[in-house]
Amino acid sequence: MMRYALMMLMILAGPTWAVQPPQRVQMDFVVTSGAMHLGEGRDVLEHDGKQFSVISESKTVGIAAFFYKMNIRRESRGLITKNGLRPLHFEEDRTRKPKRAADFDWDAKLIKLTDGAKVETVPLPDNTFDQTSFAYAFAFRPPSDEILPVYLTDGRKLSGYKYQIIGKEKLKTPLGDLETVHFQKIQEADDKRGFEVWLAVEHHYLPVQIRFVEKDGTVLDSTVTAISYQ
């Protein structure tokens, strides 16, 4: 139930972004379900204009940790191209779970997925991201109205999705009211899982709120509490 386990965001085709985010961005966030405080985490994005890395660490807290203690660490590394982020390696460590990883071979158009002892290699489509790099794709390539498929991996499998723009919205956050662009996953008739994201226009299109709706209707929100730049 942490941020990128909850989260399936979106990528839409758009023009090359002329202004990249600062070379180091730190984002703190809280995960809630209604009034219940479930978890906390921190993401650190670093880049030099050519390469990037994102480290995401999160954990359950309070009564949620009493019933189900979980720590998650995810790391993504890759390249920054004229079309945005291109991940090369992703790995995930979480409490009581096998280690997961994904290795992207863009020349051969293949991706190696590792889930504990299980390893398989499958075709690598364009617009493929891991869970962690995907969250920051819009900071390097802002969204447009055109809907294109995006492929996401958590190291276990590769899944395809489509998303649509809802519009611009003022979002109340611990940082104050933020001007955001709101996106939503397009759900098929038999798809009960929902995903939404709010990107802060004045903060390089960083994701300041992510919403995940489970099959049973449970709503989980991941909301930024602090952003710092270097």
pTM (predicted TM-score): 0.84
8 A C-beta contact, residue 206 and residue 189 = no
104-120 pLDDT tens trace: 999 999 999 999 999 99
Of 80, 28, 12, nearest to 49 (Cα)?
80
* 133-190 tens-digit pLDDT: 988 998 998 776 666 688 999 999 998 888 888 889 999 999 999 999 998 888 777 7
User: Among residues of the chain, what percentage have pLDDT more than 70?
Assistant: 90
> What is the rounded distance in angstroms from the CA atom of residue 145 to the CA atom of residue 25?
27
Which class is domain 3-229?
mainly beta
pLDDT at 147: 65
Contact present, 186 and 197 (Cβ < 8 Å): no
Query: Which helix (H) or strand (E) is 137 found in, with range?
Result: helix 137-140
The tally of CA atoms less than 13 A away on the side-chain side of residue 201 is 13
pLDDT at residue number 11: 36
- The residue with tokens 């720590």 is 71
Which token pair is 108? Answer: 């051969």
